[in-house]
Structure 1
């Protein structure tokens, strides 16, 4: 069976618009977070699993995450994030301000880019850093 990233065919991630990469990255990140949440809470009902997941995948959380993991990104990855951040989506954010929304789009663009490039190890590294950053920052916030 082909890897999921191969279903898109011969298209190179660099040839896709940042918003298409973000579209794919959004799905990848959500699947990763759902998988982690289920693995850590296998007995919870779906509605509670959903509530936990939403905290990770919100635009404000993704904006915080990209700032928190920035130092772990290489120059090419930072350029991909900036490309996504600067893309004009034509939609207005519902639960975040415009700046947060743009940084979240940059994060999703990076995830989509790494996924479609077949950079599995690097993708998992970035996703694990994102997850760890969110967990640590959430614990610090709950102590305040």
Structure 2
């Protein structure tokens, strides 16, 4: 097992992105009865940089992240990336990278129950977050 402290924020974000995508797809399949195309479009909107930023902002407002989790977020947010999503402000892209790094950190450290808690928080609030345009 690699020491989590040896992984940079972008590596954690890479792993977290996959974890979030899997949880969102499972949630949608179990809770939304629609076509595969509609599932794809919903998943795409829920894992967008703007949606992830909105979820992170709500988590911050509700103060549900531990200091350790916030540090993992900052590893991703502060990582130097040479790319960013089209039509998305760099500030939003960095927050979403931090959000993904948080989930990557939780996965690497074996905190699957915490991943599910945070994803459940997102799903519970999915209709209440303000997506930044």
Normalising by structure 2, we get a TM-score of 0.90
1:4-23 residue pairs with structure 2 within 5 A?
10-23=1-14
Distance 1:84 1:95 in 2: 20
1:31-77 deviation per Cα after TM superposition (whole angstroms, max 9, x unaligned):
100100010124x2210110111111000110111111121000111
SS of alignment partner, residue 65 of structure 1: helix
Distance 2:113 2:90 in 1: 31
Normalising by structure 1, we get a TM-score of 0.84
Point out where structure 1 has 5 or more consecutive residues left out of the alignment. 1-9
CA positional deviation for 1:13: 2.2
The alignment's C-alpha RMSD in Å is: 1.4
Tell me what 1:3 maps to: none
* Number of residue pairs aligned between Structure 1 and Structure 2: 129
Name the larger-Rg structure.
Answer: 1
More helix by share: 1
Point out where structure 2 has 5 or more consecutive residues left out of the alignment. none
Tell me what 1:29 maps to: 20
Distance 2:113 2:13 in 1: 19
